[in-house]
């Protein structure tokens, strides 16, 4: 059993390496670091940290799944196919929904401190 956990961790770390080959991962990292810096600067409460961390995690997961689905779709449908395009668009929509949620949480947490 422990070897399975070691192998799973190795695969996950390899996946992170692949993920950071994506430009969007670096944009997400910059945004996440900015949110964390703002959290420290404004001294946000523990529950607000939970909201900010949860929003960032949701966005990171959505982007990783979007990237995975794009790669898989490119593998199984290297040429144009309308269903492949719809699958990619749906995955991109999931990222956009997560982004809207994260921005909304950021506004709720940080805007009152700016006013």
Q: Which domains does the chain have, with CATH numbers?
A: 23-114 (1.10.287.3610)
Q: At what angle do helices 46-76 and 23-42 cross, to 10 degrees?
A: 180
Cα 58–61–65 angle (5° rounding)? Answer: 140
Coil, strand or helix at 113: helix
The residue-averaged pLDDT of 12-30 equals: 95
7-34 burial, b at 16+ Cβ within 10 Å, e below that, comes to eeeeeeeeeeeebeebeebeebeebbee
Here the tokens at position 5 are 């956990």
Quote the mean pLDDT of the chain. Answer: 95
Q: What percent of the chain has pLDDT over 70?
A: 98
Closest by alpha carbon to 86, among 101, 69, 98, 100? 69
For residue 2, pLDDT beyond 70: no
What pLDDT is attached to residue 26? 96
């Amino acid at each position: 059993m422990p070897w399975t956990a070691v192998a799973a961790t190795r695969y996950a770390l390899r996946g992170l390496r692949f993920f950071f080959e994506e430009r969007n991962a670096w944009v997400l990292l910059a945004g996440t670091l900015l949110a964390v810096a703002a959290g420290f600067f404004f001294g946000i409460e523990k529950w607000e940290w939970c909201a900010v961390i949860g929003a960032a995690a949701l966005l990171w997961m959505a982007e990783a799944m979007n990237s995975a689905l794009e790669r898989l779709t490119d593998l199984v449908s290297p040429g144009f196919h309308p269903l492949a395009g719809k699958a990619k668009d749906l995955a991109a929509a999931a990222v956009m929904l997560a982004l809207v949620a994260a921005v909304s949480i950021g506004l709720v947490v940080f805007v009152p401190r700016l006013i």
